[in-house]
């Protein structure tokens, strides 16, 4: 499959991927990449990996599970892939970013790209002409029909997921407020103030949200 | 809070927030989470620890292979000269017979060399020859 730079850039923008840690050799227009001195070198990545605590490892394992759905990664493989990408400097970790958060973002990107790639291997019904088309035709520029098909599939899948989760969340006012806060990028104190509860109550609401999501989709939403 | 987000946008933000909540979760909370899902915290630690080790081994192997490829490429570019022992031997014979123009006095007057001395001299001559060639090439550039 041939994917040109603009097609890949379009996918990255769609996913909201930070240009430093995306999978593109040519990042989309945006802030310039920081100089090498602001990125972790091989030995530093090794040291960061060695510095992961058992709690960090459990966190990474829990998060990895949320992205396995729709990929062909076995348990542990997605995490390994993210670590290898950091070690091989395919994805570079800025010093200003918490290393474990960098690995999480990396897993998200890798899983997303793998999902897209697997989706492209399946002929998708062309709604406009009713034909089944191969997904391997290279395109010259702009969002391709393949991208449009992937986006449509993701939108359909998202509606399905939300239709399943929303009734469970909307029954609880605090959970509903937390979700609304998250949709508006709130975290920490801002979120606590917005929801109007103390930290313990907020943590409890978040825990409930997390568990409902995990029960409904143990291996993630496939988005 | 202007326009209504799509389900995809909403779930994308909620997903990122859920990841953050896991990154901030206490060990006790995570142990509960794993237990509730029929899993085990310590097994999760072992799984992720194993992934770290695999990644490190994989990275070390790849770096070794890259280094090997770089050495090979360096050699293929002609940066490493092999020593021409045959040519050095001819030069030594020339010195012995007194025909070599650049033979040192000691070499011209030299008596019989031991096998070990001869081998050492051959090696030195071969290296000298390689250095002379190198100098010649650098002069031509």
Q: Are the CB atoms for A61 and B48 separated by under 8 Å?
A: yes
Distance of CA A173 to the CA centre of its chain: 27
Chain A residue with CA closest to B9: the answer is A183
In whole angstroms, give the CA distance from residue A43 to residue A129.
Answer: 54
DSSP H helical ranges for chain B:
7-24, 27-36, 41-76, 85-97, 105-109, 115-140
pLDDT at A198 over 90: yes
pLDDT digits (tens, 9 = 90+) for A67-103: 999 999 999 999 999 999 999 878 889 999 999 999 9
- pLDDT 10s per residue in chain B (141 long)? 567 899 999 999 999 999 999 999 999 999 999 999 999 999 999 999 999 999 999 999 988 998 889 888 888 876 666 667 777 777 777 776 766 555 554 555 555 666 777 777 777 777 777 777 766 666 665
Mean pLDDT of A18-30: 43
In Å, how far is B73's CA from the nearest CA of chain A?
20
Mean pLDDT of A43-64: 96
The verdict on a CB contact (< 8 Å) between A184 and B63 is no
Q: What is the pLDDT of residue A3?
A: 40
Q: What is the pLDDT of residue A172?
A: 94
Q: Domain segments of chain A: what residues? A: 5-142
From the list A124, A90, A123, A133, the residue with the least C-alpha distance to A109 is A90
Q: Are the CB atoms for A129 and A89 separated by under 8 Å?
A: no
In whole angstroms, give the CA distance from residue B75 to residue A168.
Answer: 66
Q: What is the pLDDT of residue A143?
A: 74
**Chain A contacts in chain B segment 23-52 (CB below 8 A):** 23, 25, 27, 29-30, 32-34, 36-37, 41, 44-45, 47-52
From chain B, the residues in CB contact with A54 under 8 A are: 45, 49
Quote the tokens at residue B102.
């650049």
Quickly state the pLDDT bin for A8 (edges 50, 70, 90). Answer: very low
Q: Domain segments of chain B: what residues? A: 14-76, 85-140
Quote the tokens at residue B64.
């070794």
pLDDT at A12 over 50: no
The verdict on a CB contact (< 8 Å) between A80 and B51 is yes
Predicted TM-score of the model (pTM): 0.69
Quickly state the pLDDT bin for A27 (edges 50, 70, 90). Answer: very low
pLDDT at A182 over 80: yes
Q: What is the pLDDT of residue A183?
A: 94
Quickly state the pLDDT bin for A127 (edges 50, 70, 90). Answer: very low
């Amino acid at each position: 499959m041939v994917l040109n730079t603009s097609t890949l850039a379009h996918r990255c923008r769609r996913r909201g991927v930070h240009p430093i840690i995306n999978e593109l050799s040519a990042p989309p227009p945006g802030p310039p990449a920081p100089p090498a001195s602001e990125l972790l070198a091989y030995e530093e990545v090794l040291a960061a990996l060695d510095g992961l605590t058992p709690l960090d490892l459990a966190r990474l394992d829990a998060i990895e599970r949320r992205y396995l759905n729709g990929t062909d990664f076995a348990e542990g493989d997605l995490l390994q892939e993210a670590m290898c990408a950091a070690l091989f400097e395919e994805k570079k970790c800025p010093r200003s970013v918490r290393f474990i958060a960098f690995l999480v973002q990396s897993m998200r990107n890798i899983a997303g790209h793998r999902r897209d790639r697997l989706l492209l291997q399946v002929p998708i019904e062309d709604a406009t002409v009713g034909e089944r088309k191969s997904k391997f035709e290279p395109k010259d520029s702009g969002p391709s029909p393949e991208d449009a098909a992937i986006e449509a599939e993701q939108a359909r899948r998202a509606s399905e997921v939300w239709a399943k989760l929303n009734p469970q969340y909307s029954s609880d006012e605090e959970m509903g407020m937390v979700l609304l806060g998250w949709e508006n990028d709130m975290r920490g104190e801002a979120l606590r103030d917005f929801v109007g509860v103390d930290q313990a109550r907020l943590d409890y609401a978040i825990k409930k949200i997390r568990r409902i999501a995990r029960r409904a989709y143990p291996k993630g939403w496939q988005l | 809070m202007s326009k209504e987000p799509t389900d995809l946008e909403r779930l994308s933000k909620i997903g990122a927030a859920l990841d953050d909540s896991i990154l901030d979760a206490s060990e006790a909370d995570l142990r509960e989470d794993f237990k509730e899902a029929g899993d085990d915290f310590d097994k999760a630690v072992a799984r992720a620890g194993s992934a770290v080790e695999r990644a490190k081994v994989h990275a070390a192997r790849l770096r070794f292979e890259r280094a090997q490829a770089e050495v090979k490429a360096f050699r293929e570019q002609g940066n490493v000269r092999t020593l021409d022992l045959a040519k050095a031997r001819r030069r030594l014979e020339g010195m012995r017979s007194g025909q070599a123009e650049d033979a040192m006095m000691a070499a011209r007057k030299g008596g019989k060399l031991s096998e070990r001395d001869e081998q050492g001299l051959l090696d030195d001559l071969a290296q000298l020859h390689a250095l002379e060639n190198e100098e010649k090439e650098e002069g031509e550039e």
